[in-house]
Chain A
Amino acid sequence: MYELKSVHKRYGLAKVALRKIDLTVRDREFLVIYGPAGAGKSTLLNILAGITKPTSGDVLRNGVSILRVPPEKRDAAMAFENYALYSHLSVGENLAFPLKARGIGRAEVEERVKRISGILGIGHLLDRRPGFLSGGQRQRVALGRAIIRPADIYLLDEPVGHLDAKLRHKIRAELKALAEDLSATVVFTTTSSREALALGDRVAVLNAGKLEQLGKPADLYHRPANAFVASFVGDPPMSFISVQPRRHDGRVDFVTADGMPVASLAAEAVSDLNEEVGSKIQVGFRSNEVRIAQESDSNALRGRVDVIENLGYMKIALVGIGNDQVSVSVPAGTSLGVGETVAIAFPRDAVHLFQNARAVTHATPSAGV
């Protein structure tokens, strides 16, 4: 088990890479660090690897600080985002490098190189130098070099980010299976929401050096802690509509600036909502929680279709409502044109409510409304 205790990392005087991160990596879990570029994901891995020292805070392994343990004694295997291949060695020698450095016998080295290169589909490239490989092939070599040896923890820094879609899908599945086979502890960084949700036992969402939320994929998707996580996890991301609360009869209605009702919740469900004047209140929806309504539906909001994204099995319509934009999932067969005016029906009580970007409630639908 690895623990980051209030780990802070500053580069120079001004650039803060990580802000007081508290994070536990459990044994044999697949932990995904998910965040936009520049969020501090690589710094976090480098700190776990011992390459980078935190400015303050502590890193523990099974309760013992490892800050003073050099990388070569940490038993961590890492795949670097920019590959970091030994360009003076062939692919086979690159894969064998961590094994030979640990004095593993020739026969076993050969056998493992063969197996890993087979899994990653680079068996035919063993004699080539990295300079003669494509980006995707190099990335597979980098990944292979990391997973070829048993390690206490595997740190994979965007290891499939530069593969083409088909290969990414395949390697992702292989990785997940491999991690389960080896009962390995894996920390995996990614900028893809789909990857984070598909692979992680738990997902840590990192933004600008801050840990926004740590939890199971379903929690992140259904109960995001704040507007950032909501807008970053899931594809398409959650949409928001700015609203104002109107209290009456033990309920709170949320209406748009035009006075159109969007949601209505029981007052106790929004007890966390404070009365601060001028605070920004938003109602959030997943694209599958809203639908195109009949024109006659008086409670529906009118909007204009800005963009239609055809995913094949369904379409995502981006509908502009006032200053906001809402993604709506519609069946693939629906005929819908850009510029068309449509009515959008909201679930009223199955909404995510945010005040000043912080989640207030994730109301679950109640029967009979």
Chain B
Amino acid sequence: MLQRESSFPKEALRYGLIVIVLGFIVFPIAWMIITSFKPADAIMVSPPRFLFTPTLDNYVHAIYDKNFLFYIKNTLFISVASTIIVVITGSLAAYSFARYNVGDGHILFFILSTKMFPAIAVILPYFLIFREVGRTGAGKFLGIGLDQPGALIISYTVFNLPFAIWLLVSFFQDIPRELEHSARLDGLSRLKVLAKVVCPLAAPGIAVTGVFTLIFSWNEFLFAYILTRKAASTVTVGVESFFTLQGILWGPVAAAATISVLPMLVFVLAMQRYMVRGLTFGAVRG
């Protein structure tokens, strides 16, 4: 084995770069967490104070006074529902694009092209649509209207689906057709082949898509801000409500932000074991 020669300047450069990158990624998060434990008088001081008596006041304020867990609950419901819809419809659509070449690639490109305009361009029409739909009987029954979870679930689904399909198509294309043929000959029907062979092999792609979709929905602000007032507000809107006329409550903001990161962290860590490349390795001669 060849051992790579490493000189001191090289190593120093390497670690220097790592420190810079980590500074951009980790420092803001660390600062947020530190701030969430600071007493109010230690937050906005210059120079910043690193030694202080930690307090849970900010968490108490966020959870009890501002009822922040209510936003977490809303967000959880909306983003999980939207993600489930996106993953299921996205997988089915991507499978048919990958296998039957529906639309000869043009439809697939058209779908992606819907991602090209900014969300702000459609927010006014969306607002008007959901206002009108919300006034109808069906809209009321399904909870699709302003300040109702249905409006956000639909908006997030519409906005995430194109990207999800695009992502999933390549995963389905990676699965050799012969595997499906083989499973058919082994005695499985078309649907069972999908369940027993195709989906397990596309699991990494489905997991990645789910993670992306959930993170997007969880962090989305614009739609949530415009389409909800109170009852269906999500965490991002919840944090915004801490920006009061009296001033910004930095401590509770940091606490709320920390709380809202936790579910995502747990989820992504849990999904990590499915997000492995190369599950189809060894299926066919290659």
A binding-site residues for B, Cβ under 8 Å: 46, 49-51, 70-72, 74, 76-78, 80-88, 97-98, 101-102, 129-133, 135, 138, 145, 162
Contacts and interface: CB of A to CB of B under 8 A. Distances in A.
Interface string B78-101: 000000000000000000000000
Nearest to A78: B185
Given A71-B181, A80-B178, A80-B181, A85 B186 contact: no
B61 to A, nearest CB: 49
A258 B156 CA distance: 85
A72 B184 contact: yes
Interface stretch (B52-60, B66-74, B239-247, B275-283): B275-283
B189 interface: yes
Contact of B181 (A49, A88, A145): A49
Given A71-B181, A81-B285, A82-B176, 5 more contacts: A71-B185, A85-B282, A87-B281, A88-B279, A145-B186
Main SS class of interface, A: mixed
A129 B286 CA distance: 16
Contacts of A97: 183, 186
Given A70-B184, A131-B281, A84 B189 contact: no
Interface string B161-180: 00000000000000010110
Contact of A101 (B187, B200, B284): B187
Interface string B246-272: 000000000000000000000000000
B28 to A, nearest CB: 39
A133 B281 CA distance: 10
Contact of B280 (A70, A87, A101): A87
B281 A76 contact: no
Interface string B142-171: 000000000000000000000000000000
B108 interface: no
Contacts of B183: 86, 97, 101
B184 A84 contact: no
Contacts of A78: 181-182, 185
Contacts of A50: 184-185
B185 A82 contact: no
Contacts of A76: 185
A88 B200 contact: yes
Contact of B182 (A84, A131, A132, A135): A84
Interface in B94-135: none
Interface residues of B, number: 27
Contacts of B184: 50-51, 70-72
A46 B184 CA distance: 12
Nearest to A88: B200
B273 to A, nearest CB: 14
Contacts of B189: 70, 72
Contacts of B206: none
A199 B181 CA distance: 26
Given A51-B184, A88-B200, A101-B188, A82 B178 contact: yes
A50 B179 CA distance: 14
A72 B282 contact: no
A87 B201 contact: yes
A129 B282 contact: yes
B71 to A, nearest CB: 39
Nearest to B202: A88
B29 interface: no
Given A101-B187, A130-B283, A138-B285, A84 B278 contact: no
A83 B283 CA distance: 7
A44 to B, nearest CB: 15
Given A88-B201, A88-B279, A131-B278, A83 B185 contact: no
Given A80-B178, A131-B278, A85 B283 contact: yes
Q: Which of B182, B189, B281 has the most CB of A within 10 A?
A: B182
B184 to A, nearest CB: 4
B187 A84 contact: no
Contacts of B279: 87-88
B182 A80 contact: yes
Contacts of B286: 82
B283 A86 contact: yes
B63 interface: no
Contacts of B281: 87, 131
Contact of A87 (B181, B186, B192, B283): B283
Given A51-B181, A87-B201, A88-B200, A82 B187 contact: no
Contacts of A51: 181, 184-185
B197 interface: yes
Q: Which of B179, B185, B186 has the most CB of A within 10 A?
A: B185
10 contacts: A51-B185, A72-B184, A72-B188, A72-B189, A80-B178, A82-B176, A97-B186, A101-B183, A129-B282, A130-B283
Q: Which of A97, A102, A129 has the most CB of B within 10 A?
A: A97
